[in-house]
Amino acid sequence: MKLRKHHLTLAISGLLGLSLLTTGCKKSDNNVVTPPPTSTWDQTTSDVLKDLTNNVIIPTFRDFDTRVGELQTAINTLKDQPNEQNLQAARDAWKRARHPWEIGEAYIFGPASSMGIDPAVDSWPLDENKLQSTLDSNEVLDKAFFDNSEGTVKGAHAVEFLLWGNDGNKTASAITPRELDYMVGCMLSFKGATETLLKAWVPASEGGSDFGYKFYMAGKEGSSYSTQVAAVGDALRGMARLMDELNNSKMGIPFTNQNLDFEEARFSSNSKADFIDNVLGVQSMYLGTYSTFSGKGFTTLVHAKDIPLDSSVTAQLTDALTKIQNINPTFGDAVTNSRNSIQTARFSVSEVNRLVGTNVIEALGIPKQ
């Protein structure tokens, strides 16, 4: 999720109490460990980064691209035949497409950030006023228009808003022809962005730019990273940043301010699923598994340096998933009616952030930034 800075500023006063969630967390007493000899470090780390590229990152972004294509097809079908059955099919396709992206937010370093993919597909909050003014205008709603539009009027949340409506109960008959045109044009740009992201990672043999190779060959000629430490640090910091965002922004802002305007997937009531997928993304990178794929993950490196820490990270990821699952019935309802369940989940997520962003980085000898 790309959160608009001025909305974050408006909400920041409500976050002053958040330190209560983390002040009791003690930093690891472990000293920074010097990496093992270059030959061992290079080979082991190269194996981990290559497995993460081929078994986690590329398969996730491939699923994202495929499922956004399926959503595009569902939207086109809805435009041709706007009935309740096709509306439900489009909503289901939206949620299926959402799943790999929220997992992949754990590794949106590299092209997803440098090429502006993240804000193009997942900016929040949605600018509902600007979206409505566009609907009321005579703009041609084609791919070029959306490619050049701000992220806050396109991507996943624009489609979500138009499929579900502001109250989450929109009917097929209430969707106007102009709104259908908006979704069709929006999806052309959305699908273009997911194709761009996938091609950035895959090898030239698949028509790609091979950032995956540049990532796992860190420290070698042709890589985007001068050292393997830099590549590992980039990935681990990305994982930690997502957990910080999940705790302090995605859950923290609507919870602290009791304002569901800041709940990211509120139209579809999909927020809890998003939160679970975010943690699953960090877990995928740590364990080296995604869907039916498996290989080496960062656990391989951590286990070799600090077995108790490795066990703690693995257990804390499971705990965070459980705590988020216990937010019932939806995150939006729990903001008012089950606040303790959110508080408990946020603390667990903050522990994942601490373990990955501080303890694991220290254990692997990654320089602080």
b/e map 293-310, b = 16+ CB within 10 Å: eebbbbbbbbeebbeebb
pLDDT of residue 11: 47
pLDDT of residue 42: 79
Distance CA 206, CA 358 (A): 37
Distance CA 167, CA 128 (A): 13
* One-letter amino acid of 368: K
Tens digits of residue pLDDT in 220-241 = 989 999 999 999 999 999 999 9
Q: Whole domain around residue 173: which residue ranges? A: 24-363
Query: Is 63 part of any domain?
Result: yes
Spell out the per-residue pLDDT of the chain, length 369, in tens: 666 533 444 444 444 344 333 333 333 344 344 444 343 447 999 999 999 999 999 999 999 999 999 999 999 999 999 999 999 999 999 999 999 999 999 999 999 999 999 999 999 999 999 999 999 999 999 999 999 999 999 999 999 999 999 999 999 999 999 999 999 999 999 999 999 999 999 999 999 999 999 999 999 989 999 999 999 999 999 999 999 999 999 999 999 999 999 999 999 999 999 999 999 999 999 999 999 999 999 999 999 999 999 999 999 999 999 999 999 999 999 999 999 999 999 999 999 999 999 999 999 999 988
* Neighbouring residues of 36: CB distance < 8 A, sequence distance ≥ 6: none
Q: Do the strands 293-294 and 289-290 form a parallel or antiparallel pair, or are they unpaired?
A: antiparallel
For the chain, what is the HEC assignment? Answer: CEECHHHHHHHHHHHHHHHHHCCCCCCCCCCCCCCCCHHHHHHHHHHHHHHHHHHHHHHHHHHHHHHHHHHHHHHHHHHHCCCHHHHHHHHHHHHHHHHHHHHHHHHCCCHHHHCCHHHHHHEECCCHHHHHHHHHCCCCCCHHHHHCCCHHHCHHHHHHHHHHCCCCCCCHHHCCHHHHHHHHHHHHHHHHHHHHHHHHHCCHHHCCCCHHHHHHCCCCCCCCCCCHHHHHHHHHHHHHHHHHHHHHHHHHHHHHHCCHHHCCCCCCCCHHHHHHHHHHHHHHHHHCEECCEECCCHHHHHHHHCHHHHHHHHHHHHHHHHHHHCCCCCHHHHHHHCHHHHHHHHHHHHHHHHHHHHHHHHHCCCCCC
pLDDT of residue 3: 62
pLDDT of residue 23: 36
Query: Is 8 part of any domain?
Result: no
Query: Is 55 part of any domain?
Result: yes
What dihedral do alpha carbons 218, 219, 224, 226 form, nearest 10°?
140
What's the distance, CA 360 to chain centroid?
21
Query: Is 312 part of any domain?
Result: yes
Geometric angle at alpha carbon 122, from 295 and 177, rounded to 5°? 125
Q: Taking Cα atoms as reference points, which of 156, 153, 50, 162 lies closest to residue 100?
A: 156
pLDDT of residue 1: 63
Q: Do the strands 2-3 and 293-294 form a parallel or antiparallel pair, or are they unpaired?
A: unpaired
Q: How many CB atoms are closer than 10 A to CB 174?
A: 11
Q: Taking Cα atoms as reference points, which of 173, 85, 68, 54 lies closest to residue 122?
A: 68
Query: Is 158 part of any domain?
Result: yes
How many structural domains are present in the chain?
1
Q: How many CB atoms are closer than 10 A to CB 40?
A: 11
Query: Is 5 part of any domain?
Result: no
Query: Is 3 part of any domain?
Result: no
309 close to 369: Cβ distance less than 8 angstroms = no
CATH number of the domain where residue 92 is located:
1.20.1420.20
Q: Is 155 left (phi over 0), alpha (psi -120 to 50) or beta?
A: left
Instruction: Kindly report the pTM of this predicted structure.
Output: 0.90
